[in-house]
Amino acid sequence: MIKLSVIIPTFNRCKVLLRTLDALFAQDLSPDDCEIIVVLDGATDGTAEALRSLKPKCAFRAHEVPHGGPSAARNTGVRMAVGELVLFLDDDLFCTPELFRVHCEAHSDSELRVVHGPIYIAPGSSETIVRYVLEQFCEGYYRSLNPEKVLSYPGEIRSSIAVLSSLANSSVPRELLLRCGGFDEEIRAAEDLELGLRLWKMGADFHFKPTATAHEYYTKTSWEYLTWQATTLAAGDLRACRKHSEYRPYSLVSSLAEARAGKSWLRSLAMRFPVSPVPLLALPLLQEKRFYRFPIFRKAGARLFGIAERVMRLRSALAACGSWKALESEFGRKLPSLMYHNIGPSRPGTFPALTVSPEQFEQQVRWLARHGYVGIAPSDWMRWLHDGTGLPKKPILLTFDDAYADTARYAFPILRRYGFSAGVFVVTKQIGGTNTWDEAQGSATLQLMTAEQIRYWAAHGIEFGAHSRTHSDLTRLSAEECATEIEGSKNDLADLLDSHIASFCYPYGEYNDAVREVVRKHFDLAFSTEEGLNYLSGDPHLLRRAYVGPDDPLLGFALGVRLGGLQSLRDLRARFGVRSRLRKAMRVLFSQGEE
């Protein structure tokens, strides 16, 4: 029985393909154990005639199909294959003699395994900037992979994108490919990524075998790459996002909203301008072969190539979405999140920095409403992260730590008047009690919300999340105590509200890797005290918030909303305040000296 079927799609690359086949016919795996299937994807350059003259020792078939792209060609090859395993190769990959054997041996103990080997740029490839960029990436990336480690899903999607994005030099059990439906034939590029995600979600292990080495004879110019591959990759990337929502934060357009104001405006102009600026940006690359031997040109060219590629991909994504508005709505939203504690009258002996007056709070909410902001709940942001829909143009998330009774009494009616939702984080073992964690540090007592208040406002548009059971610093607890505080608070609140609890807030803003992993296991979102705006590409378990204090003027509040934080403004104001006091003291000293 044949162990390995090798599938190679090709389109009008006869000379390169024949060089590739020479190396494949010299493999040290027994010819009786393998077959090679070349699928001619609408080839018109005489490839079929050239292949008919080949007489290798192993089984060899060349099959012609109408031009339908690499996905359709590979699927045809899988259906034709008779081997237990399928190895995908490209027509420009030159393989070491042991490649087939290494792939077969790596599958000996598992039916759910994808084995992938490194692909380096072959000596003698065209001297182009895109070749240089790929060469640098491959050398660094494959050195970083650990052959002993099995990639876990979905936590390691970011570090595994390169593995998933190319299934060339990857072997998969044929039965597994048939079960998952093969490649998506609607995708002309990034089809490997989509299939890789599907296989991973089915439970397949991805194993890296550094000895399964192949070299790519790269002949594309940088301009050819930009005008075809970068363009088609964007459309395939979008389809992968829509089929696999967990991939959205790592997609080509996930950082669409992150650029600073000036840079964002330039990028928006480059994307929306009727004529693509890429030909102008890439003009120096037309001379890449002439200047390739100069290191300074290669590095400058690589930087220019990166900019041109990003613009090309974003413009292609824009075209695939149909409009700038649609693209921004699906991938480009940014979320300011405000962190309040207590809203109510000042109580003697309490920490003043934690209480904002109802009058000041209403002024802030009124400003938000007048400027087009819509208050959302944490689960609204989670839903948008998942599927890219249902979020207003200018969302804002108001959060309230500790669930003070005054907040329910004064803040929630204001939010209701303006049609705002919000998120509130509850210390679940103190429901109906007091702020014991602040009392221990010298604060006077503040009453916390009762179970009845929490249930009432949950039914009227306020979303409640967990803030641990006792407001302990989780980083100082044992693993068991930490798990009890986190999971227990979720269960307490879920029992109270009879609903799913989506979000968590780190007490005191303190967390470490161990704490975050427990939170990630039990909650969809988690909030920190770090300032900044939130984007699709951010960590949903380290959401940023801007602290709002009682001394913040409305102008400072407005800047904090736009920038994602007020602390730098407070520091600046404090610094100028110190300087003014120093100047006043110096004037007093000098006036005394003159007397």
CB 92 within 8 A of CB 184: no
* Helix/strand/coil for 578: helix
Greater confidence (151 vs 354) lies with 354
Answer whether residue 231 shows pLDDT above 90: no
CA distance 95 to 113: 21
Bridge partners of 397, per DSSP, are 337
In the prediction, which pLDDT does 139 show?
87
CATH of 4-220, one of 3.90.550.10, 1.10.8.50, 3.30.530.20, 3.40.50.1980: 3.90.550.10
DSSP notation for 132-182 = HHHHHHHHHHHHH--TTPPPPTTTTHHHHHHHHT--TTEEEEHHHHHHHT-
CA distance 312 to 134: 18
- Sign for the CA dihedral angle at 245, 247, 249, 255 comes to negative
Answer whether residue 313 shows pLDDT above 90: no
In the prediction, which pLDDT does 154 show?
62
In the prediction, which pLDDT does 297 show?
93
Q: Which of 525, 537, 528 has its CA nearest to residue 474? A: 528
Counts for the chain of helices (H) and strands (E), in that order: 25, 20
Tokens linked to 83: 């081997």
Average pLDDT over every residue of 296-307: 94
Over the stretch 490-548, which tens digit does the pLDDT of each residue have?
Answer: 999 999 999 999 999 999 999 999 999 999 999 999 999 999 999 999 999 999 999 99
Non-local (6+) Cβ contacts of 371 within 8 A are 394, 558
Other beta carbons less than 10 A from residue 453's beta carbon: 19
- The mean-pLDDT minimum among 15-24, 28-37, 312-321, 362-371 falls in 312-321
Answer whether residue 142 shows pLDDT above 70: yes
In the prediction, which pLDDT does 517 show?
94
In the prediction, which pLDDT does 153 show?
64
CA distance 293 to 124: 14
> Residues of 330-364 as b/e, b for ≥16 C-beta within 10 angstroms?
bbbbbbbbbbbbbbbeebeebbeebbbebebbbeb
Over the stretch 378-415, which tens digit does the pLDDT of each residue have?
Answer: 999 999 999 999 999 999 999 999 999 999 999 999 99
H/E segment holding residue 83:
none
In the prediction, which pLDDT does 119 show?
94
Answer whether residue 593 shows pLDDT above 60: no
User: Residue type for 127, please?
Assistant: E
CB 536 within 8 A of CB 257: yes
Tokens linked to 562: 């736009």
CB 126 within 8 A of CB 218: yes
In the prediction, which pLDDT does 438 show?
95
In the prediction, which pLDDT does 369 show?
98
Considering the chain, what is the average pLDDT of its residues?
Answer: 90
**Strands ordered across the beta sheet of 205-208:** 59-65, 34-41, 4-10, 85-88, 170-173, 113-116, 205-208
Q: Are strands 214-216 and 113-116 parallel, antiparallel or unpaired?
A: unpaired
Domain ranges (residues) in the chain: 4-220, 239-331, 337-564, 571-595
Q: Is the peptide bond preceding residue 31 cis, with omega within 30 degrees of 0?
A: no
Q: What is the CA radius of gyration of the chain?
A: 30
CA distance 501 to 467: 11
In the structure, what pLDDT confidence band is assigned to residue 588 with cuts at 50, 70 and 90?
A: very low
Answer whether residue 335 shows pLDDT above 80: yes
In the prediction, which pLDDT does 548 show?
95
- Sign for the CA dihedral angle at 261, 264, 270, 271 comes to negative
Tokens linked to 133: 């960029």
Over the stretch 76-120, which tens digit does the pLDDT of each residue have?
Answer: 999 999 999 999 999 999 999 999 999 999 997 777 889 999 999
Over the stretch 173-219, which tens digit does the pLDDT of each residue have?
Answer: 999 999 999 999 998 888 998 999 999 889 888 888 999 999 999 98
CB 342 within 8 A of CB 550: no
Question: Phi and psi (nearest 5°) for 165?
Answer: -75, -10
Average pLDDT over every residue of 410-434: 98
In the prediction, which pLDDT does 592 show?
45
In the prediction, which pLDDT does 590 show?
41
In the prediction, which pLDDT does 521 show?
94
In the structure, what pLDDT confidence band is assigned to residue 434 with cuts at 50, 70 and 90?
A: very high
Q: Which of 415, 399, 391 has its CA nearest to residue 535? A: 391
Bridge partners of 503, per DSSP, are 525
Average pLDDT over every residue of 573-589: 46
Provide the whole-model pTM.
0.86
In the structure, what pLDDT confidence band is assigned to residue 155 with cuts at 50, 70 and 90?
A: low
Other beta carbons less than 10 A from residue 106's beta carbon: 21
* Per-residue DSSP letter, 534: B
Greater confidence (152 vs 465) lies with 465
Question: Please, what is the angle between helix 567-594 and helix 554-563, to 10°?
Answer: 140
CA distance 293 to 127: 8
**So what CATH class is 337-564?**
alpha beta
Non-local (6+) Cβ contacts of 401 within 8 A are 339, 340, 341, 425, 467, 505
Over the stretch 259-282, which tens digit does the pLDDT of each residue have?
Answer: 665 566 666 777 777 888 888 888
Answer whether residue 229 shows pLDDT above 90: no
In the structure, what pLDDT confidence band is assigned to residue 152 with cuts at 50, 70 and 90?
A: low
In the prediction, which pLDDT does 333 show?
93
Bridge partners of 336, per DSSP, are none
- Sign for the CA dihedral angle at 377, 383, 386, 390 comes to negative
- Sign for the CA dihedral angle at 206, 212, 213, 219 comes to negative
Answer whether residue 308 shows pLDDT above 80: yes
Tokens linked to 408: 């329910």
Q: Which of 325, 334, 378, 277 has its CA nearest to residue 537? A: 334
In the prediction, which pLDDT does 553 show?
92
Percent of the chain past pLDDT 70, that is, above it, reads 92
Q: Which of 4, 33, 28 has its CA nearest to residue 97? A: 28
Greater confidence (299 vs 275) lies with 299
Over the stretch 5-59, which tens digit does the pLDDT of each residue have?
Answer: 999 999 999 999 999 999 999 999 999 999 999 999 999 999 999 999 999 999 9
CA distance 448 to 429: 11
Between the CA of residue 175 and those of 79, 85, 182, 412, what are the distances in Å? 10, 8, 10, 57
Average pLDDT over every residue of 464-485: 97
DSSP notation for 296-358 = HHHHHHHHHHHHHHHHHHHHHHHHHHSSHHHHHHHH---B-EEEE-EESS--TTS-GGGEE-H
In the structure, what pLDDT confidence band is assigned to residue 252 with cuts at 50, 70 and 90?
A: confident
CB 212 within 8 A of CB 115: yes
Other beta carbons less than 10 A from residue 378's beta carbon: 30
